[in-house]
Amino acid sequence: MGRVIDRPIAETRNLTFTHAGDEQPSLRGLDIQFAPGEFVVLIGACGCGKSTLLRCLAGISPHLSTGEMEGAVLTEDVTQAVISQLSPELARV
């Protein structure tokens, strides 16, 4: 079992995301927490779900991209994530 952060700024709980037209999910059962001030680097092969995770954290998926999301993306106050809450906190290079 991974670490538990007392007050994460964002977290996923059993996050699964399947892009429209795909048979297999890009993300499956992901539980992750992000601590305030933490520097996180996502690395992996092309197509492994890095961008999908960022879109879910930013509130873009499933609202502005097609696909099915199960589980939850939560912010500091443990509410469903919306774009205006998370977008300023996320960056993608």
Q: Is residue 75 part of a domain?
A: no
Q: Is residue 81 part of a domain?
A: no
Q: Is residue 86 part of a domain?
A: no
Mean pLDDT of successive 10-residue segments in the chain (93 residues)? 74 95 95 90 93 89 87 71 52 51
Q: Is residue 85 part of a domain?
A: no
Structural domains of the chain, count: 1
Q: What is the per-residue pLDDT for 41?
A: 92
Q: What is the per-residue pLDDT for 7?
A: 81
CA 89 – CA 93 distance, rounded (Å)? 14
For residue 19, what are the CA distances in angstroms to 35, 52, 81, 90, 91?
28, 9, 19, 21, 22
Write down the residue that tokens 């879910």 correspond to: 56
User: 18 is in which domain, residue-wise?
Assistant: 1-70
Q: Is residue 80 part of a domain?
A: no
Q: What is the per-residue pLDDT for 8?
A: 86
Q: Is residue 79 part of a domain?
A: no
